[in-house]
A = this chain, B = another copy of it.
Amino acid sequence: MQSKAINFKDKFTKFSEQWSPRVIAEMNDYQFKLVKVEGEFVWHDHPDTDEVFIVIEGELNIEFREGVVTLSSGELFVVPKGIEHKPVAATECKIMIIEPKGVVNTGGETTDLTAQNNLWV
């Protein structure tokens, strides 16, 4: 068992790469990942799982084919499985993603933004 709480702001100081999720904790077969995002991601979906976004600092838009959802600090959104989405942030935004272990950030697409999986910080 860990012996200390995990501090989001402290963990964010330990990496700078954008669009590169860093695992900070596991709960059963789920992972909690911190990500720094800026600019436009790629359209993708996760056919087998919902995906939760929580904004820690900054503002994130999640674009859908039929609209956009804006998240500010202290807000959460569940992207349902199989729904195409594209995260976009005008300036760097710090977020936490929660999803099952093994989920690839770009879904079924492999692009320049496809990140290495299971990197811990």
Q: In chain A between 89 and 108, which residues have their CB closer than 8 angstroms to a CB of chain B?
A: 98-100
Contact B30 A30 (CB under 8 A): yes
Report copies per complex. Answer: 2
Question: Chain A: how many interface residues by the 8 Å CB criterion?
Answer: 38
Report the bound CA distance from A1 to B66 in whole Å: 11
Report the bound CA distance from A9 to B73 in whole Å: 10
CB distance from A10 to the nearest CB of B (A): 9
Contact among B4, B69, B70, B99 for A69, CB-based, below 8 A: B4
- Residue numbers of A with Cβ under 8 A of B are 1-9, 24-28, 30, 32, 49-52, 56, 64, 67, 69-72, 74-78, 80-81, 83, 98-100
